[in-house]
Amino acid sequence: MARTITVAAAQTDAVLSEDMRPGVREACRMVEQAARQGADVICFSELFLTPFFPNRLTQEFSQFFIELSDPVAAPLIDLAREREIALVFPFGERAGRYFYNSAAVFDRAGRHLGTYRKTHIPAILPSQLKGGTGSYEKFYFTPGTALSVFELDGVKIGIQICYDRKFPEGSRALALQGAQVLLMPICAASYGETKLRDNTWELPLQARAYENGVFVVGVNRCGNENGRNHIGKSLVVNPVGAEIVAMASTDTPEVVVATLDLADVERAQTSLPWWRDRRPDLYGGLAAG
């Protein structure tokens, strides 16, 4: 079993065009950089190839969704395989008549291990978010129905997408399946309350790491996109003490690379043995709806 894994968090820029090809070219550049820095896996931010279209309502949205077989994705998937780096590819997924906010997982040989579909779908009106543009994700996305763990080079990886990070149950379910690292593609923006947003950006990621004894990698977008000022600050949280061990140094596109020592997962879960002391017999109400 692998004792370390080197992860690359690809902090991508705001997207102002509906053409995905420029984003694919920039993503390929980031894969090259991550490979030079010895990364075993690279993860991109939520819906990184398109504008964050769910902040508005429109009947014309099919251009934001693709199938994995779409030629536009091929250069990135192929390059990751050639550079022998595993890839977590967040995208708007078209599956028959359904649309999902998804992240496909490829191993370093380019094999598609599976696709995680975002399970918690928000709906926030502009009036509910001071200075914000709102989120109409429920209008676009069908919720996913599975919390899966993927194995990359002997390391067990779980995926949570953006809003998912605010629900501890999902991360705990993945940890109970043996996940050692949670990769979280995110598209988080600030609307003027910078200090508050900074706190609410870091705290859920640190909490998920600490309470489960796992590494958490938050991969965010940066730049201004029609009023959405993405905060960047992609980061890596160690489970021991919930310490932030790596963070983007700028609010511009950047690849954050960190080597994770999986012994820290064992240390964290030994010092806080939640798996031993939990009381599922009392938690039935959590699943009652």
> How do residues 12-69 score in pLDDT, each as one tens digit?
999 999 999 999 999 999 999 999 999 999 999 999 999 999 988 888 899 999 999 9
Provide, rounded to the nearest whole percent, the portion of the chain with pLDDT above 90: 84
How high does pLDDT run on average in the chain? 94
Residue 137 amino acid letter: E
Task: Quickly state the pLDDT bin for 118 (edges 50, 70, 90).
Answer: very high
Cα-based distances in Å from 171 to 188, 206, 211: 19, 12, 9
Task: Quickly state the pLDDT bin for 191 (edges 50, 70, 90).
Answer: low
Task: Quickly state the pLDDT bin for 196 (edges 50, 70, 90).
Answer: low
Whether pLDDT at 145 is above 60 = yes
Instruction: Answer yes or no: CATH 3.30.565.10 is held by domain 4-287.
Output: no
Which contiguous run of DSSP H or E holds residue 87?
strand 86-95
Residue, of 272 and 1, whose pLDDT is higher = 272
What is the pLDDT averaged over residues 114-137? Answer: 79
Q: Tens digits of per-residue pLDDT, 153-170? A: 999 999 999 999 999 999
Task: Quickly state the pLDDT bin for 289 (edges 50, 70, 90).
Answer: low
Buried b (16+ CB within 10 A) or exposed e, 25-55: ebbbebbebbbeeebbbbbbbbbbbbbbbbb
Contact 145, 117 (CB under 8 A): yes
pLDDT for position 227: 81
Residues known to be catalytic: 46, 118, 162
Whether pLDDT at 131 is above 60 = no
pLDDT for position 195: 60
pLDDT for position 218: 99
Q: How far apart are CA 185 and CA 280, in angstroms?
A: 29
